[in-house]
């Protein structure tokens, strides 16, 4: 009895009772229609047949309906797929009714065939119609919904846009009303969906915004290119209309299930003007499944995202190594508590220590190593060249050599575009790291070595984006080094997926893979976009100030040096940088020895300039500096 009081079971009992009445009504009407033209009504024998069989028919059909799962879903949530299920259930129930009456003959009189046909039609109409009526009643606009409210224009009339509109219609307490769609599909132009008209294409956004004057625009196309988002955002900002965007499937899965709450503000990465990279880590990272994978710098922006994506392909063990205790603790807690991935081990270690790294490699015996540990901040590295060289170059050699000694199958270095024609200590140290990996690829054929080079990633520890955000939050000014300065940008998840893909291609001879970053973005345009996305106007609300480029800082970053040729690979958005003149392994060894001497000497006064000069000519120029030590 207590079980029947539960809302779920109480609702099912009501549904069964309602269907029983509807089935009995359909059966009665079938007889009524069959003998409608009879002057004296039903023949007596059929009155007896109806009285004897109605309970049997109702019970039998309800059993079939239950077997088809018709009572496992509330009527208010019925959908098109449910109507197909209802049709099959009614058809099977009617067919069984015919068989029983014709073969078993449980009653003295047989059931007229016309009654069987009419009963099937009426049962289908009543059972399906009752559910549809309940849904229409539940979803009908309330009186309050007809009052002027927060009006929303939805961009995208596909499944995403319809989900947004349906959520708004089902939840009047949200205080928002959808007023129409925008969609670039010419076939949808002028059509109505969920009662709303497709008003035009996104190219007509200015006219439609002026005509409809919405309070908000929702971009319901998660895969919309940055150019489209940028055009919509610009038109809305001119009219002081708020803009939000529908998240991707991954963001929905990470969040709750109430779609309206998952709508987020347009982010800066949405308007970079580049097609997003399709997330398909299950395919590109399949080679990591059931393998032991080690990630150095696991607590950093790139390293932590590597851990997140690698965990999705179910490695046998994920070893997360970092020198920063707090960062390592954070990613460890995220893996275990938030992502419920227990096959991971956190190791506090320094890649610069050969004995400790060899101990880690021998203990876990990883199959694949992603070396993401590095210093990234250019000004800090200029001020601390000793640590830049020690952490970016020497630590790479230590990690690569201990990996080869432990028979690691693949070794992937995370590099940077600043390693191309380096003019800073940070760039020079990363260039040296690339050459160390190239030399290791020749020296240790048992391990497949590769480097992956790319530009700025949004919101990483070395990116300008978090700096701009903090400056905007403080009310400005936003500082840009030069009005013509450009940089390549990519989101962290995009870059990491391509890094993982790069680990599975190539011959393993220390090749350098370069990610296709799209077109470079002017930093001043990025600053203006971020100010507008925050709801302000550049120069009016928040000032943009230009400073001077820092020593060695380039106006335009490049991804390939003059001595490299670009070769495509089988992987989309990944190219190969091939040196026109092969790197000299002996030169790498002697240059690295010279660097170690400079570090041991501890003379930071002139170290930065000398390091750049030392690495600028990978053709034997190291001997001069080495001899001066």
What does the pLDDT look like over 67-90, one tens digit per residue?
888 887 777 667 777 788 888 888
Q: What is the pLDDT of residues 187-201, one digit of tens each?
A: 888 788 877 888 988
Closest CA to 336 of 360, 309, 308, 355: 308
Cα separation of 432 and 212, whole Å? Answer: 59
Cα separation of 216 and 209, whole Å? Answer: 10
Q: How confident is the model at residue 203 (pLDDT cuts 50, 70, 90)?
A: confident
Could you give the C-alpha distances from 453 to 134, 290, 337, 395, in angstroms and in order? 58, 27, 32, 18
Rounded mean pLDDT of the chain? Answer: 81
Least-confidence region, from 242-246, 448-452, 548-552: 548-552
Question: Can you give 555-624 as a three-state secondary structure string?
Answer: CECCCCCCCEEEEECCCCCEEEEEECCCCCHHHHHHHHHHHHHHHHHCCCCCHHHHHHHHHCCCCCCHHH
Backbone angles phi, psi at 272, to 5 degrees: -80, -10
Closest CA to 174 of 155, 193, 207, 151: 151
Q: What is the pLDDT of residues 418-447, one digit of tens each?
A: 888 887 888 888 988 999 999 999 899 999
Three-class SS state of 223: coil
Cα separation of 401 and 421, whole Å? Answer: 26
Q: How confident is the model at residue 14 (pLDDT cuts 50, 70, 90)?
A: confident
Three-class SS state of 448: strand
Cα separation of 265 and 276, whole Å? Answer: 17
Q: What is the pLDDT of residues 357-374, one digit of tens each?
A: 999 999 999 999 999 999
Whether 488 contacts 521, CB under 8 Å = yes
Whether 389 contacts 595, CB under 8 Å = yes
pLDDT at 126 over 70: yes
Please confirm whether the linkage preceding 477 is cis (ω < 30° from 0): yes
Cα separation of 436 and 591, whole Å? Answer: 10
H/E element, 133: helix 113-139
418 is catalytic: yes
pLDDT at 617 over 60: no
Token pair of 358 as six digits: 């060899």
Crossing angle between the packed helical segments 44-67 and 7-34, to the nearest 10 degrees: 150
Could you give the C-alpha distances from 540 to 474, 475, 531, in angstroms and in order? 15, 11, 11
Cα separation of 407 and 405, whole Å? Answer: 5
Q: What is the structure's pLDDT at 490?
A: 78
Q: What is the mean pLDDT of residues 51-72?
A: 85
Q: What is the pLDDT of residues 274-297, one digit of tens each?
A: 566 667 888 889 999 999 999 999
Q: What is the structure's pLDDT at 501?
A: 92
Q: What is the structure's pLDDT at 551?
A: 62
Whether 130 contacts 22, CB under 8 Å = yes
Backbone angles phi, psi at 117, to 5 degrees: -65, -45
Closest CA to 370 of 480, 291, 456, 479: 291
Least-confidence region, from 257-271, 341-355, 394-408: 257-271
Cα separation of 49 and 109, whole Å? Answer: 6
Token pair of 242 as six digits: 């708020």
Those residues with Cβ within 8 angstroms of residue 6's Cβ, 6 or more apart along the chain or in another chain: none
Q: What is the mean pLDDT of residues 91-95?
A: 88
Cα separation of 468 and 526, whole Å? Answer: 9
Backbone angles phi, psi at 515, to 5 degrees: -80, 140
Whether 325 contacts 346, CB under 8 Å = no
Token pair of 146 as six digits: 């007809």
The percentage of residues in the chain with a pLDDT greater than 70, rounded to a whole number, is 83
Please confirm whether the linkage preceding 44 is cis (ω < 30° from 0): no
Cα separation of 629 and 623, whole Å? Answer: 10
Q: What is the mean pLDDT of residues 14-36?
A: 86
Least-confidence region, from 28-32, 169-173, 341-345: 169-173
Q: What is the structure's pLDDT at 273?
A: 55
Q: How confident is the model at residue 256 (pLDDT cuts 50, 70, 90)?
A: very low
Q: What is the mean pLDDT of residues 117-136?
A: 85
pLDDT at 253 over 70: no
Q: What is the pLDDT of residues 560-573, one digit of tens each?
A: 787 788 888 888 88
Cα separation of 84 and 73, whole Å? Answer: 14
Q: What is the structure's pLDDT at 366?
A: 97
Higher pLDDT, 251 or 330: 330
Token pair of 266 as six digits: 């347009």
Q: What is the structure's pLDDT at 162?
A: 83
Higher pLDDT, 138 or 350: 350
Instruction: Give the bridge partners for 346, in sequence order.
Output: 320
Q: How confident is the model at residue 1 (pLDDT cuts 50, 70, 90)?
A: very low
Whether 514 contacts 559, CB under 8 Å = yes
Q: How confident is the model at residue 257 (pLDDT cuts 50, 70, 90)?
A: very low
How many other C-beta atoms can be found within 10 angstroms of the C-beta atom of residue 545? 11
pLDDT at 47 over 90: no
How many other C-beta atoms can be found within 10 angstroms of the C-beta atom of residue 400? 27
Token pair of 563 as six digits: 């001595």
Cα separation of 402 and 394, whole Å? Answer: 12
pLDDT at 414 over 50: yes
> Active-site residue among 61, 352, 376, 418?
418
Whether 438 contacts 451, CB under 8 Å = yes
Instruction: Give the bridge partners for 393, in sequence order.
Output: none
Q: What is the mean pLDDT of residues 534-552?
A: 78
Radius of gyration of the chain (CA): 34
Write down the residue that tokens 């300065």 correspond to: 485
Q: What is the pLDDT of residues 211-220, one digit of tens each?
A: 888 988 888 8
Q: What is the mean pLDDT of residues 560-588?
A: 83
Cα separation of 566 and 581, whole Å? Answer: 14
């Amino acid at each position: 009895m207590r079980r029947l009081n539960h809302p779920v079971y109480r609702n099912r009992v009501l549904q069964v009772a309602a269907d029983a009445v509807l089935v009995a009504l359909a059966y009665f009407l079938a007889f009524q229609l069959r003998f409608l033209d009879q002057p004296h009504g039903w023949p007596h024998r059929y009155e007896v047949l109806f009285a004897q069989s109605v309970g049997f028919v109702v019970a039998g059909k309800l059993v079939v309906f239950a077997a088809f799962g018709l009572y496992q879903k509330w009527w208010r949530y019925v959908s098109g797929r449910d109507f197909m299920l209802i049709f099959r259930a009614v058809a099977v129930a009617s067919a069984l009714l015919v068989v029983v009456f014709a073969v078993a003959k449980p009653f003295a009189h047989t059931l007229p065939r016309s009654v069987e046909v009419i009963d099937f039609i009426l049962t289908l109409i009543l059972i399906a119609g009752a559910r549809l009526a309940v849904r229409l009643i539940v979803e009908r606009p309330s009186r309050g919904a007809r009052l002027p409210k927060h009006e929303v224009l939805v961009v995208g009339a596909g499944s995403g846009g319809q989900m947004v509109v349906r959520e708004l219609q089902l939840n009047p307490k949200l205080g928002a009303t959808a007023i129409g769609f925008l969609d670039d599909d010419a076939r949808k132009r002028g059509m109505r969906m969920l009662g709303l008209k497709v008003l035009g294409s996104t190219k007509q956004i200015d006219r439609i915004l002026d005509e409809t004057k919405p309070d908000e625009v929702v971009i319901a196309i998660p895969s919309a290119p940055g150019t489209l988002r940028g055009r919509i955002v610009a038109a809305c900002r001119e009219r002081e209309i708020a803009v939000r965007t529908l998240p991707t499937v991954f963001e929905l899965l990470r969040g709750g299930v109430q779609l309206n709450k998952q709508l987020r503000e347009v982010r800066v990465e949405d308007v970079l003007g580049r097609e997003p990279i399709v997330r398909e880590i299950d395919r590109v990272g399949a080679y990591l499944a059931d393998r032991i994978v080690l990630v150095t710098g696991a607590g950093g922006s790139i390293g932590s995202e590597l851990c997140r994506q690698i965990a999705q392909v179910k490695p046998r063990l994920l070893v997360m190594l970092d020198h920063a205790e707090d960062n390592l603790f954070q990613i460890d807690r995220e893996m275990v508590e938030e992502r419920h991935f227990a096959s991971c081990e956190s190791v506090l270690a320094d890649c610069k220590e050969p004995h400790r790294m060899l101990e880690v490699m021998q203990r876990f015996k990883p199959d694949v190593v992603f070396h993401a540990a590095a210093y990234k901040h250019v000004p800090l590295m200029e001020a601390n060249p000793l640590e830049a060289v020690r952490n970016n170059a020497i630590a790479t050699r230590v990690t690569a050599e201990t990996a080869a000694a432990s028979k690691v199958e693949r070794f992937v270095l995370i590099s940077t575009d600043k390693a191309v024609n380096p003019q800073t200590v940070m760039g020079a140290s990363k260039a040296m790291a690339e050459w160390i990996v190239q030399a290791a690829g020749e020296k240790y054929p048992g391990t497949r070595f590769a480097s992956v080079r790319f530009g700025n990633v949004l919101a990483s520890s070395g990116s300008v984006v978090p700096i701009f955000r903090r400056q905007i939050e403080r009310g400005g000014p936003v500082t840009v080094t030069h009005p013509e300065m450009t940089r390549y940008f990519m989101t962290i998840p995009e870059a990491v997926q391509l890094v993982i893909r790069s680990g599975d291609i190539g011959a393993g001879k220390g090749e350098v893979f370069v990610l296709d970053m799209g077109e470079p973005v002017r930093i001043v345009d990025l600053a203006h976009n971020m100010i507008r996305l925050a709801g302000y106007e550049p120069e009016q609300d928040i000032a943009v100030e230009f400073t001077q480029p820092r020593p060695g800082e380039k106006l335009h970053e490049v991804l390939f040096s003059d001595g490299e040729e670009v070769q495509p690979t089988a992987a989309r958005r990944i190219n190969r940088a091939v040196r026109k003149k092969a790197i000299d392994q002996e030169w790498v060894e002697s240059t690295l020895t010279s660097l170690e001497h400079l570090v041991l000497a501890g003379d930071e006064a002139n170290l930065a300039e000398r390091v750049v000069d030392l690495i600028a000519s990978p053709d034997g120029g190291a001997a001069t500096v080495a001899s001066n030590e």
